[in-house]
Amino acid sequence: MNIRTVCVLGMGYIGLPTASTFAMHGLQVIGVDINPEIVQTLQNGGLHIQEPGLRTLVQAALRSGNLIISNQPQEADAFIIAVPTPFYEDKKADLRAVSAAAAAIVPYLRKGNLVILESTSPPRTTTDIVAPILEQSGLKCGTDFHLAYVPERVLPGQILRELIENARVIGGVDRASAEAGRDLYRLFVRGELILTDATTAEMVKLMENTYRDVNIAIANEFARLADRFQVNIWEAIALANRHPRVNILQPGIGVGGHCISVDPWFLVEAAPDLTQLIRTARMVNDEQPAFVVDFIRRYVGDLQQLNVAVLGLSYKADVDDLRESPAITVCKLLTQAGAKVCAFEPNRVDAQVDGVTTTQTLEEALQDATLLVILVAHQTFRSLNPRELSKVMPGRLVMDAVNILDDSIWKTEGFTVLKLGNPPEKPL
């Protein structure tokens, strides 16, 4: 299929890098977003999300003239839907943005066009929801236009590299649609392009993140058992992983982000009678922030009016993404317990959390703290100097929830260090 123009709907963490990459490979690209602030920011050369190398890429794509930013679609050879798919409070998928994006394409859809859904979605979304909306154009899916599901498989912090190097699964509603999708993505993807059907591709995406979620859940459950039995979970995991067929992940404060913490629920929604393990894993990980707060309370005592400095609000290390962040949940639970929480997120100093004071600098967060809680393993936190911190922080109590501190160094400076998964023998 000869593709010269692409319209990408959704200028978020996936849509914007994808649109810019296509533009830098010679296609004419229309990047669409319904948020006027995002549109204006991008049109003015700014950026509303943080990702290494993305600013340079976007600005180069705009300067080339191959990328234009708009608030509505235009006619194109191919359309890519890359909008968010969050879930409702009952954990069911919110596909309103996907449906709205598909409907927005209808007036511009022409014979021979290719439409691709990249948004993570429950099985059969492409065939049962997107296809009927597009057919409101009067065109027949699989006959008059191609339709495929192509899940993104990138890691925040490495999106630009993985967008090009990772293998892509291309699921068409028919063989011709899958082949059309392959023709588009091979313009820049160096990884293998694997063709399948749309529902299999949807399932693959959900399986990948569910697999991770289940494995994180067992690590978190092991940490709870270690706490019960007074075992150092970090030592225990290191010893267990010496087995040639065992690779236990590290426990933590829960699971966040827009993928691993969300996608398994799409499988639970689609087949609740077959997903007992997946549901349980989700519950374990969702309950982990409460376990962290209970751990602190058990060894520190009453949290009422306790001044707590929290380091890290993003959902994982070295990114600015706060979506579904368990660190934010921990902060909110601490405030509900009566603590006064002051948080510092170096990658999003403008972050706002209800009930929590956020600061522009580490020193501001520490100045009144009795307890320091490290929730995210940012690289900058790994090099914290306890001697320097002791000059700013009045308290000498640290809770390391991500196992990045060398206890012995901190203890020589007068700090008491609590570690999730390595409980002290008795309350402090």
The residues assigned a catalytic role are: 205, 259
* Secondary structure (DSSP) of 384-395: --HHHHTTT-S-
Contact criterion met (CB below 8 Å) for 313 and 332: no
Contact residues for 280 (Cβ-Cβ < 8 A; gap 6+): 217
Half-sphere exposure of 241 (CA within 13 A, CB side): 11
Which residues on neighbouring strands pair with residue 307, listed in sequence order? 340
Q: How far is CA 207 from the centre of its chain?
A: 16
Residue pointed to by tokens 């994982």: 316
Alpha-carbon span 380 to 240, nearest angstrom: 29
Q: What angle do CA 233, 237, 240 make, to 5 degrees?
A: 135
Give the β-pairing of 146-149 and 168-172.
antiparallel
The alpha-helical segments, DSSP class H, found in 147-275 are 159-165, 175-185, 198-229, 233-240, 263-270
Residue pointed to by tokens 């692409």: 6
- Give how far Cα 8 sits from Cα of 29, 56, 183, 262, Å: 7, 19, 16, 23
Contact residues for 287 (Cβ-Cβ < 8 A; gap 6+): 254
Residue type, 402: V
Expressed in angstroms, the distance from the first to the final Cα of the chain is 68
Which residues on neighbouring strands pair with residue 169, listed in sequence order? 194
Question: Please, what is the angle between helix 15-24 and helix 54-64, to 10°?
Answer: 50
- Give how far Cα 155 sits from Cα of 9, 308, 321, 377, Å: 20, 31, 12, 16
Q: How far is CA 250 from the centre of its chain?
A: 18
Give the β-pairing of 307-311 and 340-344.
parallel
Contact residues for 307 (Cβ-Cβ < 8 A; gap 6+): 339, 340, 342, 368, 369, 370, 371, 395
